[in-house]
Amino acid sequence: MSRAPFQVLVFPYLIRSDEPILYAIFKRADLECWQGIAGGGEDDETPIEAARRETTEESGIDSDHKFIPLDSMSTIPVVGISGMIWGKDVLVVPQHCFGVEADSEVIRLSDEHLAFQWLPYEAAHEILRWDSNKNALWELNYRLGIAG
């Protein structure tokens, strides 16, 4: 299995009647910072296929749940995720962002995370470390707000 030159970022969300939308955020074990589900593509996966696989691996949420592709995009320096495995000319890879609707608060954490929290938008946005995560969460929250 080889690493594909892109990254995915996924925010699970939970909608309940008459309550604020909740977002799952995860505390990384290696950096001890809060973020969405993040990971790289494998072999010839598309970004949505990678998002579905990473979501199941890191949270236990089934890949058949409703995924929302987001317009939010960023680039990630390769040295922080995989080293220079694609050669000296590939310095950054795109990060594709998604939301996924969860059907319960049950999360099965992988070893990549120390903890998770279900939080309303403002609280989740405040503790996210990366601007790319904050931007994607803002877009998802906006889209869900106008859809509901």
pTM of the model: 0.94
**Does residue 148 surpass a pLDDT of 90?**
no
Where in the chain are the domains? 3-147
Query: Phi/psi at 126 (nearest 5 deg)?
Result: -65, -35
Separation CA 62–CA 51 (nearest Å): 11
Describe the chain by its helix, strand, coil percentages, rounded to 5: 25, 40, 35
Structure tokens at 123: 């609280």
24-57 pLDDT, tens per residue? 999 999 988 999 999 999 999 999 999 999 999 9
Greater model confidence, 95 or 19: 95
Residue 64: the pLDDT is: 95
Longest dimension (CA), the chain: 52
Residue 147: the pLDDT is: 61
3-147 CATH pick, 3.40.50.2020, 3.40.50.2030, 3.90.79.10, 3.10.310.30: 3.90.79.10
**Does residue 16 surpass a pLDDT of 80?**
yes
Residue 141: the pLDDT is: 97
51-82 pLDDT, tens per residue? 999 999 999 999 999 999 999 999 999 987 87
83-113 pLDDT, tens per residue? 788 889 999 999 999 999 999 999 999 999 9
